[in-house]
Amino acid sequence: MKRPAGPSGSGTLILLRHGQSESNAAGVFGGWADYRLSPYGEEQAADAARLIAGTGLLPDVVHTSLLHRSIRTAQIVTDRLDRAWIPVHRTWRLNERQYGALTSQSKRQIRHDAGAQPYQRRRRSLHAVPPPLPGDRLALLRADPRYACLPGEAIPSVESFADLLTRVKPYWSDVLAPALAGGATLLVAAHGNSLRALVTLLDRLGEPALRALNIPTAEPLVHHLAPDLQPLPPGGSCLAPDRARAAAMAVAAEGHV
């Protein structure tokens, strides 16, 4: 199959949230806890590879977070595309949002205890911050060898979405954007909120649009980029749009049903 080309002088960005994780299946906040894919999540990742293969897109480089669910999703996709040999870059900057004390807590229970509006602000507003991770759990996280190259203060006890944007933005501007400007096709396999951050930067979303943005698991979102790195079309294109739309609605309803 002939490889499709984007606009002249531009690259292509494939954004892929990991397949269903154990935390997704349990209805809890995953955050920086290292949950693995569920069996269904592994199937979802394989199906995402099928969708990507159907477009003829072949990623040149893969970018993941340091969390297993992101890494495993990328492995499944690149194996199915026969691209296991391409370079892979892993970074803490693509980790999920740090949910602090909400990590591993039931979304439904948090909504019940806090109320619908505070719960939704914590999930989707720009500046709301949950309670921080307790000191003993933060110490364990900072002792994790995957973060050994980072100063302790770089590992947050909690993040607002604005904090997450600040964390992701240098990776976009210093790593992803230059590669895309050079015409590369990149696969970023990451998390709901780190991908929301990338979409916010790509599409220059304001807070109302950001609140409404939900990224479903294992639904590839493809951005063909103009030479100035503007998405064509704005918002990108889902490879299974009807299914992705329904799945995004389910993400929006998490904790409410």
Residue-wise pLDDT tens for the chain (257 aa)? 334 444 445 899 999 999 999 999 999 999 999 999 999 999 999 999 999 999 999 999 999 999 999 999 999 999 999 999 999 999 999 999 999 999 999 999 999 999 999 999 889 999 999 999 999 999 999 999 999 999 988 999 999 999 999 999 999 999 999 999 999 999 999 999 999 999 999 999 998 999 899 999 999 999 999 999 999 888 999 999 999 999 999 999 998 86
Q: What is the DSSP string of 109-177?
A: HHHHHH-HHHHHHHHH-SS---PPPPHHHHHHHHT-GGGTTS-GGGS-S---HHHHHHHHHHHIIIIIH
Residues paired with residue 17 on neighbouring β-strands, in sequence order: 190
Instruction: Give the pLDDT score at 104.
Output: 96
Find the distance separating the first CA and the last CA of the chain, reported in whole Å. 43
Helix (H/G/I), strand (E/B), else coil: 221: strand
Q: How far apart are CA 22 and CA 193, in angstroms?
A: 17
How far does Cα 51 stand from its chain's mean position? 18
Alpha carbon separation from 187 to 17, 29, 248, 249 (Å, rounded): 11, 25, 20, 24
Helix, strand, or coil here: 216? coil
Domain boundaries, the chain: 12-252
**What pLDDT is attached to residue 6?**
47
Q: According to the model, what pLDDT value does residue 182 have?
A: 94
Q: Output the pTM of the full model.
A: 0.94
- Catalytic residue numbers? 18, 96
What pLDDT was estimated at residue 2? 36
Taking residue 214's Cβ as centre, other Cβ atoms within 10 Å add up to 19
Bridge partners (DSSP) of residue 90 are 64
CA-closest candidate to residue 218, choices 34, 35, 27, 14: 14
Residues 6+ away with beta carbon under 8 Å from 231: 202, 203, 223, 224, 225
d(CA 32, CA 50): 28
pLDDT number for residue 256? 83
CATH superfamily label, 12-252: Phosphoglycerate mutase-like (3.40.50.1240)
